[in-house]
Structure 1
Amino acid sequence: MSQPCQDNFSTTFSSLTAMMKYHEEQVKNSNWERIEVNRLQVAPLDQSSPLFSDTSAFADCVSGDAIKDTASNLGLALKLDGKYYPVRNTAYKGLLDRAKLGGTSLPKLKRKELAGMINSCLRLYPNAQALMLIRNEKISAAHSGDEHDYSILSMDELMSALTDHLDREYPGSVFEAGYSDHAFTNATWLLNGKRDELLDTYEKTLKAQGKGSLVSKLTPGIQFSSSDTGHASAKVSAMLLGGQHPIHIGGILAIEHRRQKTVAHFEKELAQLFAQFGDSIARLEKLTRIHLDYPGNTMTRICKKLALPKKASLEAIAMFDMALGGTPATAHDVYMAMQEILFILKTDGTPQGKLILLAENMARALTLRWSEYDLAKAVSW
């Protein structure tokens, strides 16, 4: 079992109380520091570097496990206030951004060479500020220190705002599950009390098409996700729950961690939740009226367009073609068949965090012009 200091740490929650307590503790144990970019000093931290065995050079909060884990992953440390901290992989891109470095060759460099290059570039920007996040014994983020570039939105405050809104406006809503790792946090709620209002038209349409058994299992829900180690927005997405895997049907609202945004901005956007959910359901329902001549080809082209994992996609496409047996299909049929990709990946042990991101990406299919993908010509993939 991984420890919180390790880069691959993740945890799940079956109760809202446990998840809120976790994030309240995370906030208490997080230290945000603004510092001039040219004062940042990076050092190699692989197993061959002198720093690896010099534990006295690290801050008191840094354990040997955190040092060893970093040596096996990013292999860099950063000095703040005279003491070193291991750098978590979630902070790597931000650190490169502060140095205005990029390119596919950088990861191939030895850690000593990479650290030297980063330091040389950091020294070029004496007037720039960095906002560093120290959490779980490591530098977990390296954001721009300009308040217009990055705004700290506390995870526990965001979740409290959402919970209060759901309790007030959506009686009967139920927390279903939560997930957190060092990169992002995710939580889902069932909107049991609003099922009839939200799914009425969609359910009638599917029943008229003889597919009532599918929708009878589904319940509307929402997914909250955010990150304070990356540039992901604090967002809420619409979902349908009750099937083999949650079905994402599009984003509802999003607040960027930028331009001095606050939790109050997030609370204001929540007022649009019901209307935006209705729009997402309408887009899904519209797919039932899009009839396809070449559903297998359409599904292949859509999956390729969205850059979904090829092996799992082709397996799901083959299953869909076999189930169809040459019968007609709609865009809705294809979109539902695409959900099998996530089930296949989950069965194969794909990390939950990656599954969540893939599901969000898959929902982009609802906004595509399906006729452009319904072609007789075979697809090369």
Structure 2
Amino acid sequence: MYYKDDFYKEFRTEKELCEYLEEIDSRAEWIRVTSKKLKVAAAGEETCTEVPGISLEALEKDTLSHSRLVLILPERICYIGNSAIKSLKGRARIDGKALADVDKKTLAEILNKCLKVARGRALIRFCEGKIRAVLSGDEKDYAIISMPDMYMVTSAYIHGDYEKATFLNGYADHYSVTASWQLEDTKLTDVYKELMQNYGRKTDKDIKAVVRITTSDVGVSGANIFYSLQEPTRNVILGNALKVTHKNCKGMEDFTENIESIFDYYREVLKGVMRLCDIWIEHPANAMAGIMKQAGFGKKLLAETVEQFKATTGDEPCSAYEIYCGICESITIARQEKTNERGLLALEEKIAGCVSKRWHEYDIPGTVKY
């Protein structure tokens, strides 16, 4: 059983990923309970309910190293995993950085006072020996999407609709699951060449695309579809994700509709990125630094990315597209510095958000400031 809060697993084949998802799903539970009936306590104050396959001693030891909290339900008492803390605070309708500084007994008291006046029901995800999420129990607020079904539909569509699809990798932890496929298809290349020609950039190179599917059962992500483009010498992240949120959705029906439209989505996000070719920047290093700072990049990664861009291309005026491609290189830098998979996924989303920034606002002269 994968009970530890810092658990993660990587997959090299689709078979490994599917077997893992089926295994997890077979042991997991969804529990609906009136929010007012929930109570939080510091770990060690209550005796938790036995969990088949894992000792309470091991669960308590791991919990004391992480959340240090337990959740008291009407029919059982369970240890709380780290992934549940954000949603638990959300159910209690409280948040704030100060909560991270209070001791766990005080935090439990605050949560309990708020839960007493909470409305509606909670939808609780119990998985691998702990509570992993405390979500809204109203079906309009959170639709459960089966992970095994979702990835099965994705795989079937990708392998059936593209000339060649190769599974690259998968990753799972208690927050989310991700899988990536490399796609090779004439229609992908044709759209790319057409857009390049529209912007005066001729190319005779075939390209490959990577489609990544990320989803979560604990409320940190919807069922999201990302694209990136593998040009001959670099990878380009293609804008924001095509998303199915768990709120107000029809579950697998909505996700299947998105999967069936991923080629149209590829065309649209590629157009969005290529529009950056029309934006001319006089001070590229400053613009890159300003865009990355506004997007929330860490100072060290920002500086390394800008310096690499300057060393590679100089500081001559260029299009925002060239700068954006330079920002995409931050993924390579972060990977070299051993950033974990969840961190890389978050970084991809920051990069994608740069496409829609107001680039000219950051095109200013002067010394680059990090």
Amino acid at match of 1:172: K
Deviation at 1:185, TM superposition (A): 1.1
Quote how far apart the aligned CAs of 1:202 are: 4.6
Deviations 1:131-176 (A, max 9, x none): 1111010000100111111110111111112122223322322221
Structure-to-structure mapping, 1:124-273, within 5 angstroms? 124-125=117-118, 128-194=120-186, 195-202=188-195, 204=197, 208=201, 216=205, 218-241=207-230, 247-251=236-240, 253-273=242-262
Moved more, 152-161 or 321-330: 321-330
TM-score by length of 1: 0.89
Deviation per residue, 1:205-250 (Å, 9 max, x gap): 79947xx6xx948411211111111142111111123778853212
Correspondent of 1:32 among 27, 30, 33: 30
Shift of the alpha carbon at 1:89? 1.1
Contact 2:291/2:362 (<8 A) preserved: yes
CA displacement at 1:197 relative to structure 2: 2.7
| Larger displacement relative to structure 2 (164-173 or 16-25) | 164-173
TM-score by length of 2: 0.91
2:58 aligned residue (62, 65, 68): 65
Q: CA contact under 8 A between 1:153 and 1:263: conserved in structure 2?
A: yes
Given that residues 51 and 129 in structure 2 are in contact (C-alpha distance below 8 angstroms), is that contact kept between their aligned partners in structure 1? Answer: no
Q: Which amino acid aligns with 1:78?
A: L
Identity of aligned residues (%): 26
For residues 329 and 237 of structure 2, the distance between their equivalents in structure 1, rounded to whole angstroms, comes to 13
Aligned counterparts, 1:238-317, within 5 A: 238-241=227-230, 247-251=236-240, 253-317=242-306
CA 228–328 in structure 1, closer or farther in 2 if over 3 Å, else same: same
| Secondary structure class of the residue paired with 2:9 | strand
Structure 1 pair 118/316, CA: closer, same or farther in 2 (3 Å)? same
What is the rounded CA distance, in whole Å, between the counterparts of 1:245 and 1:42 in structure 2? 49
Could you say which residue in structure 2 is the equivalent of 1:350?
339
Answer yes or no: is the 8 Å Cα contact 1:198–1:220 preserved in 2: no
Query: Given the superposition, is the C-alpha separation of residues 118 and 295 from structure 1 closer, same or farther in structure 2, using an over 3 Å criterion?
Result: same
Q: Is the 8 A contact 1:244 1:343 kept in 2?
A: no
Per-residue CA distance 1:276-305 (angstroms, 9 max, x = gap):
101111222222333221111111111111
- Output the aligned Cα RMSD: 2.3
> Any conservation in 2 of the 1:35–1:145 contact (CA below 8 Å)?
yes
The alignment status of 1:79 with 2:68, answered yes or no, reads no
- Where does residue 7 of structure 1 map in the other structure? 5
2:123–2:135 contact (8 Å) kept in structure 1: yes
Distance 1:204 1:245 in 2: 19
The residue that corresponds to 2:319 in the other structure is: 330
User: Structure 1 residues 268, 142: CA separation in 2 closer, same or farther (over 3 Å shift)?
Assistant: same
SS of 2:51's equivalent in the other structure is coil
1:360 equivalent to 2:349? Answer: yes
* C-alpha distance in 1 between matches for 2:311 and 2:249: 52
The Cα of 1:68 is off from its aligned counterpart by 1.0
SS of residue matched to 2:180: strand
Q: For 2:348 and 2:60, how far apart are their aligned partners in 1?
A: 34
Give 3-state SS (helix, strand or coil) of 2:3's partner.
Answer: coil
Q: Across the two proteins, how many residue pairs are aligned to each other? A: 367
Structure 1 residue 65: deviation in Å?
A: 2.3
Residues 139 and 243 (structure 1 numbering): CA distance in 2 closer, same or farther, change over 3 Å? farther
Cα distance in 1 between the residues matched to 2:96 and 2:199: 49
Aligned match of 2:99: 106
Query: CA contact under 8 A between 2:281 and 2:320: conserved in structure 1?
Result: yes
What letter is aligned with 1:149?
Answer: D
- Once the two structures are TM-superposed, the CA of residue 27 in structure 1 deviates from its matched residue by 1.2
Give me the whole-angstrom Cα distance separating, in 1, the residues matched to 2:109 and 2:233.
Answer: 49
- Structure 2 counterparts to residues 364-379 of structure 1, below 5 A: 364-378=353-367
The whole-number CA distance in structure 2 between the counterparts of 1:326 and 1:128 is 57
Distance (Å, rounded) in 2 between the aligned partners of 1:171 and 1:24: 28
Deviations 1:322-367 (A, max 9, x none): 3333433221221121123222222222111111111122111222
Residues 205 and 232, structure 2, Cα contact 8 Å, conserved in 1:
no
- Quote the Cα distance in structure 2 between the aligned partners of 1:374 and 1:190: 35
Measured after TM superposition, the shift of residue 33 of structure 1 is: 0.6
- Structure 2, unaligned runs of 5 or more: none
Instruction: Report if aligned partners of 1:205, 1:285 keep a CA contact under 8 Å in 2.
Output: no
Quote how far apart the aligned CAs of 1:82 are: 4.0
Q: Is the 8 A contact 1:131 1:142 kept in 2?
A: yes
Residue type of the alignment partner of 2:169: A
Deviates more, 1:342-351 or 1:177-186: 342-351
SS at match of 1:105: helix
